[in-house]
Amino acid sequence: MKKIFFISLLLISCTTFMSCSENFDEIDCSECFPDKPLEAALYIDVTLNEVYPAIPVIVFRGKIEQGDTLVVDTIYEPRGYIDVPLNEYYSVMAKYKSGKSVTYAIDGDEFNRHKIEGQCDGTCWIIRGGLYNVKLKY
């Protein structure tokens, strides 16, 4: 009975892992880098308007709870960016202040590079992630 349970658990784990992995069967070769990128632009989308003309943001390496602050900056455009090392988890926190009211928007995700072979002209590297949405939701 234990053997059947273990095999079932293993099959469920493998199926879950395989269904969650990203499919690289169809790659747009125009998105490929011939050389291994070490860093790339992490984009931060914010809400800008008359009430919020500039948004202070903090970029964290890892989860916010870890407190590993990478950059503290202010964004004056709908999309800001910062160059960061790849293959890490990043979190972004934006602060929206109007009068005495303060609202925080948070987003976090992996920002990775992947080596692709046999689909474009030679080995190619693609970047996945890197867009963090800390816009206000109305």
- Range with the poorest average pLDDT among 45-59, 93-107, 113-127: 113-127
Q: Which residues pair with 94 in a beta bridge?
A: 57, 105
Residue 16 lies in a domain: no
Instruction: Calculate the average pLDDT of the chain.
Output: 85
Looking at the structure of the chain, the number of domains it has is: 1
Asked if residue 7 is part of any domain, the answer here is no
Domain presence at residue 17: no
Read off the pLDDT band of 126 (50, 70, 90): very high
In a domain, 98, yes or no: yes
Strands 88-98, 131-133: pairing kind = unpaired
The model's pLDDT over 54-81, given as tens digits with 9 standing for 90+, comes to: 999 999 999 999 999 999 999 999 999 9
128 belongs to a structural domain: yes
In this prediction, residue 121 has a pLDDT band, given cuts at 50, 70 and 90, of confident
- Is residue 36 in some structural domain? yes
41 within some domain: yes
Q: Flag whether 76 is in a domain.
A: yes
Q: CATH number, domain at 57?
A: 2.60.40
Determine the structural domain holding residue 59 and report its residue range. 30-133
Given strand 101-120, what is the order of strands in its sheet?
Answer: 69-75, 55-61, 88-98, 101-120, 122-128
